[in-house]
Structure formats: structure tokens, C-alpha cells
Amino acid sequence: MSREILLLVDALAHEKNVSKDIIFSAVEEALASATKKKYPDDVDIIVDIDQETGEYKSFRKWTVIPEELIENNQAEIPLGDEKANGMAENEIIKEPIDSVEFGRIGAQAAKQVILQKVREAEREQILNEFLARDEKLVSGQIRRMERGNAIIEVGRLDAVLPRDEMIPKENLRVGDRVRAFLLNIDNNVRGPQLVLSRNSPEFLIRLFELEVPEIEEGLLEIMSASRDPGLRSKIAVKANDQRLDPVGTCVGMRGSRVQAVTGELAGERVDIVLWALEPAQFVINSMAPAEVSSIVVDEDKRSMDLVVTEDQLAQAIGRNGQNIRLASELTGWELNILTEEQSEEKNKEEYTSSSKLFIEQLDVDEDVADILVKEGFSSIEEVAYVPIEEMGQIEALDEDTVNELRTRARAAILKDAISSEEKIPVPAEDLLSMDGMDKDTAKLLAAKSIITMEDLAELATDELIELVKMDEERANTLIMTARAPWFV
């Protein structure tokens, strides 16, 4: 029978152009499946074939795991069992058993397993060849529609364009040729499948790369893109060659390049924006065609207030907030539109709020609080930790006053920190007294709402490591100690 196996492997490997290792693996799986039918229980069988001689041996297999985790007594064995003496968790015990005759295996069953493996290998090989080409923009013909999704033939592969990745109101039909961006590869039960998108910002970028050769040459660069699919989009472009006009290059002669992209996107209007290293200038560019009067930047919150005149307000916001939303996505900043009147009102409120904060926290009068606000201070932390040389430049404050303000600010911060610490829950006595626990770890756990041993017992090892930085062995030991009462 060994010669029979070698002949079968040679024939299939040659016919299907796949590795012999894959065929041997399929034959081993078929033999294991046939052997398993001799046992009434859910046993675990493996078969090893010698690829040189074709001889094979069969084994019954057990996996060594903690007793409380055992689900199948026929394929799993507890750590303390005699058979598992001295073995670690997840080690394998193999016991030789009688092998079935290869010739007696149901031919159809063996053939099904082997051909399935071969088909999977062929698909994998085709997919790997496709991935090696690193194609992100693909094109193909729609073969059929399934529940609103388009199944597209891309070379020798089938890809899916989900309904929610189609451009809204786009009417795609069987037989149409379409372009799309490779979004990801979905490994489902039927094998890996390409998932495409026509409404991703990446699709817009790839279309411009196709139409504008200067991008491939490295003379031009697309920095970011945002879309409202089928309606409007924005791209930010940067020239790496100062002789080039990046916006004009993307537009093309008489708008030919941008029109080609728009045509592919079902008439979607594209705004081409000049990228700028300075965030405020980039935001101003991205708001075009609306004009921005002034900008207030909050770097901590990564947000900007954009002040516009009343007649520019509607254009700045755009239909259903489209313009401001696309500009925000393009730049990566949270953008807020304000009229000049609203901006003035907001400044007054912030001025009053900051002044009140300094009066209450630093115990100063209105005059000193107003000086701090006018100099740009808005928090106690800024007063406490801004370089003393910077505060020394404030003409209205002498050196003694500056030092006193810094001292009071630091005292206020310390007071708040102590107050916050007092609000941390106290760990329960059973958590504090359990083996392997120390006070610092217990306090850290209590701060994360793990207060009792029961709370700790319900955690998984990786969850505990994420909450409190420790090695895996200690985390596992603590959890098992906390679970000990469960098994009494």
C-alpha cells in the first residue's frame, strides 16, 4: 500500500501543480478520518506518513491541560494524571494504534478530502501570486449579484464588492467592468476572498495615482483624502518639486485628469487642496471655497475654532455640514465654525471662566487674575510649571509675586491630587491577604474596580496583565489562587 500512496501523491502533485507536502497532508487527514470511525467516542487521531517510503503509522492523541479546562475526556488529559507525569501544559501524548488499510478507505471519502485540500492549495497559490504583484487598484467584470453584493471576476480570483462599499445611487449590473480598491482579504469558510471598495478614500487616491504620472515619479504626493461618496471629496496634494503647481497638475489640461477621476466616481465633485506643514494654514486651504477670517488653535484637544463672516457661514458649513466634515477628516483636526459674534461671546465666557478659576484656586484679586488671563494663561498647571523666565517677562508682576503665584499653583495641584487619591476604592481584606498579593498591586487593582478575590478570579490572564503590568506566570498564579475557593 505504501507504493500506492507514493504513486497517488506523484500523480496529483503533477496534475494539480501543487506541493507534494500538501498532498501528503491530505492523505494523512483522510487516513485519520477513516481510523476515527473505528472509535465510538470523539477521539483525536493523527497519521504520520514517511514521505520517502510511503509507510505510515497511526496514533491516538491527548493534549495535557489543567483539569478545570477539560471539555473532552477522550482527547484531553489533566496535568496531574499518571500518563501526564512530568509533562507541561499543552504538551501532547501519543499512543500507537492499528492503522487502517489504505485500500479499504472509502475511495470517495478519501478523494473528497484530497481534492478539497488541492483546491485550497490552488486558491492559495493564485492568491499569493496576486498579492506578490501588490495591486491595490483592481478591475474586473461583475459575474453575478448576491443579496445586493457584486461578485467580480478579478483575473482567476473572485472578489466581492459589498453593497455598503458601493457608491450610493450607483447602478451596477452583471457584465459591467468596474474598478475598485482592495480593502482587505476575508478568510472565510470557503477560503480567502478579496473584499473591494469604491467608496473608500483610498480608492480616490489610487485613481489620482493612475491619472497623474507625476505621483508615481515622486514629483507629487497625495497627503490625505476624505469623501462623501458620490457627492463630494477632498484631496490634499504636495509638490516635491518646487517647479510644479500641485493643484494644476492634478486638475490637468482643461480639467482632463480630474474629470477622468470624477467620471469613475459617478460624478463626485473633487476639491484639490494644497497641503501645508503648518496645521492652521492647511485647515484654511481645506475649507476652500469658504474664506476663514481667523483661527484659534487648541493643540491639547487637537481642535480649531474657525471664525467666518456671516455671509461665508453657509458655504463654510456646506450642505448638511459636508464641507466642514470633509475638511476635518482631511486635516485630522476637530473643526468648529463660529461667526464673529459667536467667537466674541465665547472669548468673553472663557475669559470670565479662567479669571474665576485663578481667583478661587490661587486666592488672588480680580486685577491679578485679569493679568494672567490677558497674558494667555488658562490653567493652574500653566502658572505652576511655565518657565520662570517667561513669567518674569510680565511687566505687571514683580519677582516676589511670580514666585508666590507659582507656589500657590503647585499647592492647589497637590491638593487636587490628594483629593483624587482619597476617592480610590480600598481593596477588600480577602484580596489583600491572599497568597502572592502585595499592597501596591492590590491598590492598583482596586483603582481598576477589582476590589475582591472574586473580582480577580473572574479575570483572564491577559486581562490582568493589561490592567496591572506583570509577567504572565505571576498573573496566572494570582488568578488560580483567587479561583481556589471555586474548587473546594
Which residues are CB-neighbours of 374 under 8 A, at least 6 positions away?
A: none
C-alpha cell at 283: 485647515
> Which residues partner with 297 through β-bridges?
304
Among 85-89, 121-125, 252-256, 397-401, the range of highest mean pLDDT: 252-256
d(C-alpha 123, C-alpha 191), whole Å: 8
pLDDT of residue 449: 84
CB 189 within 8 A of CB 195: no
Q: Which residue type sits at 142?
A: I
Classified as helix, coil or strand, 257 is: helix
Among 12-26, 41-55, 81-95, 196-210, the range of highest mean pLDDT: 196-210
pLDDT of residue 357: 81
Residue range 163-174, pLDDT digits in tens: 989 998 888 889
CB 397 within 8 A of CB 371: yes
d(C-alpha 48, C-alpha 61), whole Å: 12
CB 81 within 8 A of CB 89: no
d(C-alpha 205, C-alpha 237), whole Å: 10
pLDDT of residue 249: 92
Residue range 190-242, pLDDT digits in tens: 666 788 999 999 999 999 999 999 998 999 999 999 999 989 999 999 999 88
Backbone angles phi, psi at 289, to 5 degrees: -85, 0
Q: Which residue type sits at 258?
A: V
pLDDT of residue 198: 92
Residue range 458-483, pLDDT digits in tens: 988 888 888 887 888 888 899 989 98
Which residues are CB-neighbours of 190 under 8 A, at least 6 positions away?
A: none
Q: What is the mean pLDDT of the chain?
A: 84
d(C-alpha 185, C-alpha 190), whole Å: 12
Q: Name the residue with higher pLDDT: 81 or 307.
A: 307
pLDDT of residue 106: 43
d(C-alpha 153, C-alpha 308), whole Å: 50
The angle that helices 399-422 and 340-362 make with each other, rounded to 10 degrees, is: 90
CB 327 within 8 A of CB 334: no
Predicted confidence (pLDDT) at residue 105 exceeds the cutoff of 50: yes
Rg of the chain over CA atoms, in angstroms? 34
**CA separation (Å) from 394 to 371, 386, 397?**
9, 12, 6
d(C-alpha 56, C-alpha 27), whole Å: 10
- Count of other CB atoms within 10 angstroms of residue 144: 11
Which residues are CB-neighbours of 3 under 8 A, at least 6 positions away?
A: 54
Tell me the Ramachandran region of residue 202: left when phi exceeds 0, alpha when psi lies from -120 to 50, beta otherwise.
Answer: alpha
Residue range 119-156, pLDDT digits in tens: 777 677 667 666 667 778 888 888 888 888 888 888 77
Model-level pTM? Answer: 0.59
C-alpha cell at 10: 506523484
Residue range 231-281, pLDDT digits in tens: 999 999 999 988 889 999 999 998 899 999 999 898 899 999 999 999 999
d(C-alpha 60, C-alpha 48), whole Å: 12
Q: Name the residue with higher pLDDT: 61 or 300.
A: 61
pLDDT of residue 325: 94
Judged by average pLDDT, the poorest of 31-45, 198-212, 373-387, 411-425 is 411-425
- Count of other CB atoms within 10 angstroms of residue 168: 11
CB 161 within 8 A of CB 149: yes
Q: Name the residue with higher pLDDT: 463 or 188.
A: 463
> Which residues partner with 157 through β-bridges?
154
Strand spans (E) along 265-355: 269-274, 294-298, 303-308, 334-339
Give the burial class of 400: count Cβ atoms within 10 A of its Cβ; 0-12 exposed, 13-18 middle, 19 or more buried.
exposed
Which residue matches cell numbers 476635518?
328
pLDDT of residue 23: 78
C-alpha cell at 300: 491639547
> Which residues partner with 233 through β-bridges?
227, 270
Predicted confidence (pLDDT) at residue 110 exceeds the cutoff of 60: no
Mean pLDDT (whole number) for 444-459: 88
CB 270 within 8 A of CB 230: no
d(C-alpha 388, C-alpha 437), whole Å: 44
CB 123 within 8 A of CB 109: no
Classified as helix, coil or strand, 65 is: strand
pLDDT of residue 488: 63
- Count of other CB atoms within 10 angstroms of residue 236: 22
CB 59 within 8 A of CB 95: yes
pLDDT of residue 1: 56
pLDDT-above-70 percentage for the chain: 91
Q: Which residue type sits at 211?
A: E
Q: Which residue type sits at 158?
A: D
pLDDT of residue 235: 95
Identify the structural domains of the chain with CATH numbers, from first to last: 2-123 (3.30.1480.10), 136-199 (2.40.50.140), 211-275 (3.30.300.20), 278-422 (3.30.300.20), 429-487 (1.10.150.20)
Order of all β-strands in the sheet with 334-339: 294-298, 303-308, 334-339
Predicted confidence (pLDDT) at residue 62 exceeds the cutoff of 80: yes
Predicted confidence (pLDDT) at residue 61 exceeds the cutoff of 80: yes
